[in-house]
Amino acid sequence: MNLSRASQQRLELLAQDSLKRVLLPCPLDQRGLDFSSNDYLCLSQRNDIVEAGHACAKKYGAGATGSRLLSGNLACFEALEAQVAEFKNAEAALVFSSGYQANATGLAALLDQNLWGGAEPLVFTDRLNHASLHHACQLAGVKQIRFRHNDMAHLAELLDKHTGKHADSTQPKIIVSETVFGMEGDLLPIEQLAELAQQHKAVVYLDEAHATGVWGPQGRGLGAIQHPAIDALKAMGHWVIMGTFSKAVGVSGAYIACTEIFKQYLVNRCTGFVYSTAPSPFVIGAVSKALSIIPELSHEREALHAAAQHLRTKAHELGFDTGLSNTHIVPLVVGSNTACLELKSHLQQADIRTSAVRPPTVPPKAARVRLALNTGHSPAVYEQLLKALASWKVTA
Ligand SMILES: Cc1ncc(COP(=O)(O)O)c(C=O)c1O
């Protein structure tokens, strides 16, 4: 069989299950009605941020010319890393070209047995973690011990079971979770997780992709909150925080905030850092400007959280299931893939753009239309959305 025929057959199978994806144009003039974008603070379109990107590119060039370990270690990277470390209240930070790369290769480096003197780490993961976190576990060849989504009692049970009397106490323990779940739109009970990690001396690796800019003190993420267990984990060097610049920060790329020594380990052993060209200086200039603005946007964050609460209330009145959402991400869980595609196209007819999220991104029979709220959505847009939702009838 040739490649084209094999691809055609695979696509036909996906289409049969309403799982085939297609690329659609995203006209800039329709951003106001777009609920599929992760530009939660609308920073991607701010002039001062775009200008800062230009200024940095003018100074350093359009490209970094190589890996940071070769020709690419421009001064702007080191300056941004110092800024990110301060923003996250961490000792150090390392910048990556994408969140996927940071997770897949940064977490894989943390899980590498060679780091732990040959001992295979016990890796406790939330069942609904992002694909890039799963990818890291596969890359490192570790078995995941999965706990039920956000269920800290289950995590405690699994930690006890695997670290009890008969367990090998030399095995490192690592807990991996998101802090705002991108598809559920709910918050990690971070204090409880930190307390469990402290009790078990586990390393915590948190993904703040959807929290950075929107949650935590001044939008610094949940990992930046003050709590004795978090302080204790930080003091042990067991608090590793990843986040992206691609969502609320409005640009692209990612960071891992950690201790200086773990950063130096990543510089040496993280494949996505060692074997990849550093990000464009444009990105670095724009991100730096965005990070300097984010702490000031408290009113915008409050308005966003209030809008989400209002939308949930109204959606419930209309009979919609918003699942576990308690953030600016509000899923409308409809179950079947066909109902999901129908609701998305019904909203599209009212000019409202949304994302149809289907398995394997979410569990089977939990397909949903994902509404990602941003600070540019006006009251009139919410009215338009609710009117369209009110007129939807399930036919699937
Ligand atoms: C939780 C989570 N982590 C990581 C990523 C990857 O980030 P990026 O889009 O910057 O590659 C995403 C993006 O979809 C995400 O939702």
Whether the predicted pLDDT of 320 surpasses 60? yes
pLDDT score of 169: 67
**Residue 203 is assigned to a structural domain of this protein:** yes
**Residue 178 is assigned to a structural domain of this protein:** yes
- Do residues 62 and 210 share a domain? yes
pLDDT score of 30: 86
- Cβ count near 85 (within 10 Å): 19
Between CA 288 and CA 207 the distance in angstroms is 20
Sequence-distant (6+) residues with CB within 8 A of 292 are 83
Domain boundary among 277, 294, 311: 294
Q: How far is CA 3 from the centre of its chain?
A: 33
Among protein residues, the one whose CA lies closest to atom 15 of ligand 1 = 209
**Residue 24 is assigned to a structural domain of this protein:** no
- Do residues 353 and 273 share a domain? no
The response to whether residue 125 sits with its C-beta less than 6 Å from ligand 1 reads no
- Cβ count near 194 (within 10 Å): 27
**Residue 22 is assigned to a structural domain of this protein:** no
Residue range 2-33, pLDDT digits in tens: 999 999 999 999 999 888 999 988 888 888 89
- Do residues 215 and 326 share a domain? no
How many domains is the chain built from?
Answer: 2
Ligand 1 geometric centre to CA of 254 (Å) = 9
The response to whether residue 244 sits with its C-beta less than 6 Å from ligand 1 reads yes
Determine the average pLDDT of the residues in 74-83. Answer: 98
Annotate 250-289 with b (16+ C-beta within 10 A) or e (fewer): bbbbbbbbbbeebbebbeebbebbbebebbbbbbbbbbbb
Ligand 1 geometric centre to CA of 170 (Å) = 32
- Do residues 204 and 353 share a domain? no
- Do residues 237 and 138 share a domain? yes
The secondary element (H helix, E strand) that includes residue 333 is strand 329-335
Closest by Cα among 212, 182, 117, 156 to 330: 182
Domain boundary among 252, 273, 294: 294
| Owning domain of residue 249 | 47-294
The CATH number assigned to the domain holding 304 equals 3.90.1150.10
The CATH number assigned to the domain holding 219 equals 3.40.640.10
**Residue 254 is assigned to a structural domain of this protein:** yes
- What does the block give as tokens for 43? 């920073």
**Residue 14 is assigned to a structural domain of this protein:** no
Best residue among 177, 183, 222, 246 to mutate for probing ligand 1's pocket (most ligand atoms within 8 Å of CB) is 246
Least confident of 72-76, 123-127, 169-173, 225-229: 169-173
**Residue 64 is assigned to a structural domain of this protein:** yes
- Do residues 95 and 206 share a domain? yes
Residue range 100-140, pLDDT digits in tens: 999 999 999 999 999 999 999 999 999 999 999 999 999 99
- Do residues 264 and 351 share a domain? no
The response to whether residue 279 sits with its C-beta less than 6 Å from ligand 1 reads no
- What does the block give as tokens for 244? 């992206």
Between CA 112 and CA 302 the distance in angstroms is 41
Ligand 1 geometric centre to CA of 391 (Å) = 33
- Do residues 119 and 217 share a domain? yes
- Do residues 332 and 287 share a domain? no
Domain boundary among 294, 325, 353: 294
**Residue 367 is assigned to a structural domain of this protein:** yes
pLDDT score of 206: 98
pLDDT score of 29: 86
- Do residues 278 and 305 share a domain? no
